[in-house]
């Protein structure tokens, strides 16, 4: 089964097969609608907001997707398995996504 992905901010669409990762499907379609980085959930570059549709995701680092963000539809495209047609918005990565995370201690 195939699902249709619409990236609203880029006005691009591509198809993803059932059980295929969102980011992988976009790359296979030779598109650049979502930024590609490590492909493994570590850099945060592929952060998107899912506006409509059903999906499953593998565990995502809280450094890139907080619990609140996850609840409001933010996800890492390299960790997302669509389960139906999706409408998403890309380019939600943090400017410093590639930088090493700074740990601040709150007292
Ligand atoms: S590509 Fe690095 S987190 Fe998805």
Please tell me if the CB atom of residue 39 comes closer than 6 angstroms to any atom of ligand 1: yes
Structure tokens at 1: 């089964």
Within a domain: residue 98?
no
> What is the pLDDT, as a whole number, of residue 93?
87
Say if 20 falls within a structural domain: yes
Structural domain includes residue 100: no
Q: Is 45 in the pocket of ligand 1 (CB under 6 A)?
A: yes
Long-range contacts of the stretch 95-103 (C-beta < 8 A, 24+)? 97/37, 97/43, 97/44, 97/45, 97/47, 97/64, 98/37, 98/43, 98/45, 101/63
pLDDT at 22: 98
Residue 97 has a pLDDT of 54
pLDDT for 72 equals 95
Question: What are the tokens at 94?
Answer: 């943090």
Mutate-to-test residue for ligand 1 from 43, 59, 64, 88, highest number of ligand atoms within 8 A of CB:
43
Q: Check residue 50 and give its pLDDT.
A: 98
Q: What is the pLDDT of residue 94?
A: 73
Q: Which stretches of the chain score pLDDT less than 50?
A: 100
State the pLDDT at residue 13. Answer: 97
Write out the residue range of the structural domain in which residue 32 sits. 2-89
- The rounded Å distance from CA 42 to ligand 1 centre is 6
Q: How far is residue 101 CA from its own chain's centroid?
A: 19
Residue 96 lies in a domain: no
Is 48 a member of any domain? Answer: yes
pTM for the full predicted model: 0.87
The distance of Cα 26 from the centroid of its chain, to the nearest Å, equals 11
Q: What is the tally of structural domains in the chain?
A: 1
Whichever domain contains 33, its CATH number is: 3.10.20.30
37-61, pLDDT tens digit by residue? 999 999 999 999 999 999 999 999 9
């Amino acid at each position: 089964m195939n699902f249709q992905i619409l990236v609203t901010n880029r006005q691009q669409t591509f198809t993803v097969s059932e059980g295929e990762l969102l980011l992988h499907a976009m790359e296979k379609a030779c598109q650049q609608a979502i930024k590609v980085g490590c492909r493994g959930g570590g850099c945060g570059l592929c952060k998107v907001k899912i506006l409509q549709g059903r999906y499953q995701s593998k565990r995502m680092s809280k450094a890139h997707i907080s619990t609140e963000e996850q609840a409001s539809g933010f996800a890492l495209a390299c960790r997302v398995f669509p389960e139906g047609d999706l409408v998403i918005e890309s380019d939600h990565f943090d400017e410093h996504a590639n930088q090493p995370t700074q740990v601040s201690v709150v007292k």
